[in-house]
Structure 1
Amino acid sequence: MTQVKKHFFSGGLKGAEAAFGEQAEKYGITETTYAFEGQTLTREVNVEILSEETLKKGDVSMEIVSARMGRRYAQADKIRKVFQVIFHMVNKGCQVLAIGWIQDDNTVKGGTGWAVELGKFFNRPVSVFDQEKNQWYTWKENRWALDTPVITQDTFCGTGTRNLSEQGKAAIEELFTRSFA
């Protein structure tokens, strides 16, 4: 494969992030994996361990996160570091691609939802493959619209559920094929 001049950011976790990383590698895309000290990664490619000081740049009140996401988080200290890593992924990636489940309140389930919300807040192109509906959606005009996205930005982040379905994995592969083949 020819080197594609793009840069991919993720958290290197099992499931969607590892699958996104495998496709980035297949297409010769530069990859950076953000993590914090002591975090267990599935995909360890160009890992950048974020210092406590750097992590804090992505800090946000858990009350704000809870309000934006419409839910509470039991292990606030643990999830805070995950949300801080997500901030850095979205901050560096000018396009957000995620695999998960879009809920009735237009948020996405789990930590993936925070990446999606940040992408919306930062006015990034945001697309989510909903594993229940087996379809891609892109956030347009304050609503989810059916779409067949392509990777258009020079920097992008890929995130999503650890419970990646075969359809979700295929959706990632097809996304990269559409974008770079």
Structure 2
Amino acid sequence: MNAQDCTLYHGGLKGAETLFGENTEKYGIQEVIFTFENHRLNRDRNPVVLTEEELQRGDISMELASRMMNRTYYETEKIRRVLQTIFHMVNKGHQVFVIGTILEDNSVKGGTGWAVELAKLFNRPLHVYDQLRRQWFTWKEGAWQEDSPKICYNTFVGSGTRYLSDDGIAAINQLFADSFAQQ
């Protein structure tokens, strides 16, 4: 696969998303950052500011999101906008990579968990680097299985924690090196 034919979708936040973006720049991959009006980005290379109409296409009941992720989300406009934006990332990117922590209920900690739940719902190839276990896992047959994934599709999502460990940093860098080493 040719890196120049690929596109990364993310939200431009500090931590995992910024490092995914920096790697796309290094490897010559296209990058699209989905955001909304008045949302502060850490990385702003090629941002797409979603309109109100576009955001509404990604709208979800906060009750449903809370139930799917086994946690409580209150009706705050910013959280709703972030979840709507994540919908657009996962809808556009075929393969999903996340850096975070897999919880006992198979969800992923934090807002990043919404990208994971949508990837499951949309039946996308889904990979999570669990910083606590220092290992990549792929969602297969309804369970997390240890894996060493590569970027295999022309469109992909990079998301995750704002608080990257050294192992999380190394995992993202190695993912790109393994996927595009020949270029």
Same fold (TM over 0.5): yes
Matched, 1:155 2:151: no
RMSD: 1.0
Q: Does the CA-based 8 Å contact 2:3-2:28 persist in structure 1?
A: yes
In the alignment, which residue of structure 2 is the partner of 1:49? 49
Q: What runs of 5+ residues in structure 2 fail to find an aligned partner?
A: none
Alignment of 1:26-37 (within 5 A): 26-37=26-37
Q: Against the structure 1 CA distance between its residues 119 and 3, is the aligned structure 2 distance closer, same or farther, given a 3 Å change threshold?
A: closer
In the alignment, which residue of structure 2 is the partner of 1:94? 94
Q: Does the CA-based 8 Å contact 1:7-1:156 persist in structure 2?
A: yes
**Normalized against structure 2, the TM-score is what?**
0.96
Q: The residue matched to 2:97 in structure 1 has which SS?
A: strand
Q: What runs of 5+ residues in structure 1 fail to find an aligned partner?
A: none
**Normalized against structure 1, the TM-score is what?**
0.97
Aligned-partner Cα distance in 2 for 1:133–1:3: 29
Q: Does the CA-based 8 Å contact 2:65-2:73 persist in structure 1?
A: no
Q: The residue matched to 1:41 in structure 2 has which SS?
A: coil
Matched to 1:99, the amino acid is: I
In the alignment, which residue of structure 1 is the partner of 2:180? 180
In the alignment, which residue of structure 2 is the partner of 1:81? 81
- How many pairs does the alignment contain? 180
Q: What displacement does 1:139 show?
A: 0.1
Matched to 2:78, the amino acid is: K
Q: Percent identity?
A: 56
Deviations 1:22-55 (A, max 9, x none): 0011100000001000001011010010011100
Q: Against the structure 1 CA distance between its residues 152 and 115, is the aligned structure 2 distance closer, same or farther, given a 3 Å change threshold?
A: same
Q: The residue matched to 2:105 in structure 1 has which SS?
A: coil
Aligned-partner Cα distance in 1 for 2:66–2:47: 29
Q: What displacement does 1:5 show?
A: 1.1
Matched, 1:15 2:25: no
Q: Does the CA-based 8 Å contact 1:37-1:49 persist in structure 2?
A: yes
Q: Does the CA-based 8 Å contact 1:62-1:76 persist in structure 2?
A: no
Q: The residue matched to 1:4 in structure 2 has which SS?
A: helix
Runs of 4+ in 1 over 3 A off after TM superposition: none
Q: What displacement does 1:3 show?
A: 5.1
Q: Against the structure 1 CA distance between its residues 177 and 68, is the aligned structure 2 distance closer, same or farther, given a 3 Å change threshold?
A: same
Q: What displacement does 1:129 show?
A: 0.3
Aligned-partner Cα distance in 2 for 1:166–1:52: 38
